[in-house]
Amino acid sequence: MDIAKIEEAVRMILTAVGEDPNREGLLDTPSRVARMYQEIFSGLHSDPKEELSARFNVEHGEMVFVREIPFYSMCEHHLLPFYGHAHVAYLPHNNVVTGLSKLARLVDTVAKRPQVQERMTNQIADALAEELEAEGVMVVIDAEHLCMNMRGIKKPGSKTMTLAVRGRYESDLYMREEVLQLVRYQR
């Protein structure tokens, strides 16, 4: 990432909105924003499939499901955050699974780039389906978008849900409903 260019752009934005980038409270803002962008866009130059490299053989091929994986991403249309939870389910192929933390890392890697929720959901599902050769994959993401909350339509609290299904989850409605019930499950 070109940190100096980001800092220069932030100074230009501050000037363009009528602020003085040299006033005390804003002096370090360009540098802070550049470091923040380096962190929140760190997934731009990463292959999400690499997060699934750890594999294990298990004695069964039952569903693996991790719910409520928190994430933060940036809307590519307004460069405002959207955040929420990803729920990831897959059916192992030949009893081969990946580490549970790898599913969370996969979500983080895909989320850390300018993104739309619909693409993010599909990228997670595709990585699992392709890299693990999973028999079925289902990804549900529910998120709140600040571009809808604080500007434009101004509807705070509204949630967007997206769903991507691959393999057996596409054709087996019972299996799909099983995952949706686990997503809705309340303790």
pLDDT-derived band at 60 (thresholds 50, 70, 90) equals: confident
Answer whether 118's CB lies under 8 Å from 110's CB. Answer: no
For 161, the token pair is 């849900």
- The count of C-alpha atoms lying within 13 angstroms of the C-alpha of 57, restricted to the half-sphere facing its C-beta, is 1
Marked catalytic residue, from 85, 147, 170, 178: 147
Marked catalytic residue, from 51, 87, 117, 131: 117
Q: Is 147 annotated as a binding residue?
A: yes
Marked catalytic residue, from 7, 75, 87, 115: 75
Q: Is 87 annotated as a binding residue?
A: no
Active site residue 75: yes
Torsion-angle region of 109 (φ positive above 0: left; ψ -120 to 50: alpha; else: beta): alpha
What is the residue type of 122?
N
Active site residue 78: yes
pLDDT-derived band at 81 (thresholds 50, 70, 90) equals: very high
Nearest to residue 139, comparing CAs of 180, 108, 109? 180
- pLDDT score at 97: 97
- pLDDT score at 145: 97
Q: CB neighbours of 98 closer than 8 A, spacing ≥ 6?
A: 52, 53, 54, 55, 56, 132
Domains plus CATH for the chain? 3-40 (1.10.286.10), 47-184 (3.30.1130.10)
SS3 for 171? helix
Per-residue pLDDT, averaged over 17-40, amounts to 97
For 83, the token pair is 């955040």
**What is the Cα gyration radius of the chain?**
19
Say if residue 51's pLDDT is above 80.
yes
pLDDT-derived band at 61 (thresholds 50, 70, 90) equals: confident
Q: Is 75 annotated as a binding residue?
A: yes
Say if residue 23's pLDDT is above 90.
yes
Active site residue 186: no
Marked catalytic residue, from 76, 118, 130, 133: 76
pLDDT-derived band at 24 (thresholds 50, 70, 90) equals: very high
Active site residue 85: no
pLDDT tens digit sequence for 90-104: 999 999 999 999 999
